[in-house]
Structure 1
């Protein structure tokens, strides 16, 4: 267990829930919470730390007083960023969060140069691209957490529809983390039974629509974005890397010829293990899905182009 150190940048609801989930499973030796609001990080670290008496193992939970306290982490999860406000343009949001990411990444490179980075900050695919460009690291070490959450949301909608198979449902998606995500019901299953053998085409369309609206639905009721499902999705990815379990998980990764694209970060199925992305799995897509995937890629490229037009990468 010694040396299994996970840093979480951003101690808001998502970051703190990820930390709590990791302590409950006991998969890492130490979790370090870091936030620009140091009191927030301290308070949540104490609260989560006091819960570990009842967990599988006594995970150490600490708050970073300074970025240097993130040193020697095996994995760093980045949740930092600001949500879009009514008076913000898309370009405004992109530039603000990209600048935050530049500062965060600079600290990671300085204090944990061998870490694997899991990006959770939105807009996710674009921020994952920013991390790639800021670090210049091998692409297996930088992963965007999108499909783990969207897949869980799709699985939930499948279970709501069919009424059975909770815990046995596996859902696959590709594309961006947004309205252009592409659920793939033809390779999703309940207890190993293909989804298209269980539900009607109409039910499948409803499942897809509800999956895409999954985050907005929660905001409607809570007045804030989700954190339990994202937090658990993060911890599943962290555990897969620490345990070298080589699970298949859709994630936002840098493509280098796969699916016919290069220099773009987008969600595709990957194998997660000790080295981060152990393998990118290339699916055979029909023409309709290829067209949808292009729309998804183009939407991510539009955001990257905004950053380039504002000389962000100079």
Structure 2
């Protein structure tokens, strides 16, 4: 394994609710030593930096600054959360035309200051925008990472844990594909404390198909429900981004369902979507194509087709 970076720097582009929930969580976690904030309205970024700096007597030492794209220099990770937010009644793909142009503007400006960062994309529709960022940047696919279905997977594990009344950290399972309506819950690979779900059901009560469908629906529609009640989602995606950041900066070689370019896995090519990936200091070192049931493979292929259609619609 590569040695950990001694100087850990992250730059966030976009200081809205997602960007700042992420920044606040990073400040509390304490494993980043320098944090740069960039926003199209500089005063907003300056105010956010001031507010975070007032936390410093209670957390690990950090250097928190706001500025222009010079903030990207020497950053191991540049995180893009900028873009139009999803509103009530909108799907993530409805944001496509608005946010693809924003990514095309941001990425070259980042690379002018830092030619080889790891780009972490969180703006929606994240799978499409990860692909756009990859093509615009010319960086290796290992270094352009989408937040993908890390959040969806968190929701999936949480809901299963609630059903069985166990710690969510002992539930293992994945949501793959699009971070959106075509996402795929891989029930065949779910386990609780290493016990396959089918066996666990026999011991602790069966999770019947109707209940599985309810969990799938709750995961798929979670963002819509939150947006309906409080206009936007930000805490959970903020922590999902922290988890990815920690895997990179600590070179943890963690398996996370981040978005990446798919080149043949499950018969899918030339789209970015989420599969279990090994994530460390060089970004994605391995994509894990685990065996799945045929209906799950077909659902994943359908998810890829949805994303390819979206990319075709904007000329990619």
Verify the 8 A CA contact 2:174 2:190 in the aligned structure 1. yes
Structure 1: gaps (5+ residues): none
Matched, 1:61 2:68: no
What's the C-alpha RMSD, in Å, of the aligned pairs? Answer: 2.1
Structure 1 Cα separation of the partners of residues 91 and 255 of structure 2: 36
Question: 1:125-159, CA deviations, whole angstroms, 9 ceiling, x for partnerless residues?
Answer: 10000011101111100111022111111122112
Verify the 8 A CA contact 2:171 2:193 in the aligned structure 1. yes
Structure 1 Cα separation of the partners of residues 296 and 9 of structure 2: 39
Partner of 1:274: 281
Match of 1:255 among 253, 262, 265: 262
Matched, 1:216 2:224: yes
Verify the 8 A CA contact 1:7 1:32 in the aligned structure 2. yes
Matched, 1:8 2:16: no
Matched, 1:36 2:36: no
Question: 1:199-221, CA deviations, whole angstroms, 9 ceiling, x for partnerless residues?
Answer: 41232222112111111111122
Structure 2 Cα separation of the partners of residues 180 and 87 of structure 1: 17
Match of 2:242 among 235, 239, 253: 235
Partner of 2:130: 128
Verify the 8 A CA contact 1:91 1:306 in the aligned structure 2. no
Q: How does 1:201-212 map to 2 (within 5 A)?
A: 201-202=208-209, 203-212=211-220
Measured at CA, do residues 106 and 289 of structure 1 come closer, stay the same or move farther in structure 2, by a change above 3 Å? same
Verify the 8 A CA contact 1:165 1:190 in the aligned structure 2. no
Question: 1:207-243, CA deviations, whole angstroms, 9 ceiling, x for partnerless residues?
Answer: 1121111111111221x22111000000110010000
Bigger drift between 115-124 and 205-214 goes to: 205-214
Structure 2: gaps (5+ residues): none
* Structure 1 stretches of at least 4 aligned residues deviating more than 4 Å after TM superposition: 84-92
Verify the 8 A CA contact 1:30 1:60 in the aligned structure 2. yes
Q: What SS does the corresponding residue of 2:188 show, helix, strand or coil? A: helix
Deviation at 1:262, TM superposition (A): 2.0
Structure 2 Cα separation of the partners of residues 264 and 225 of structure 1: 27
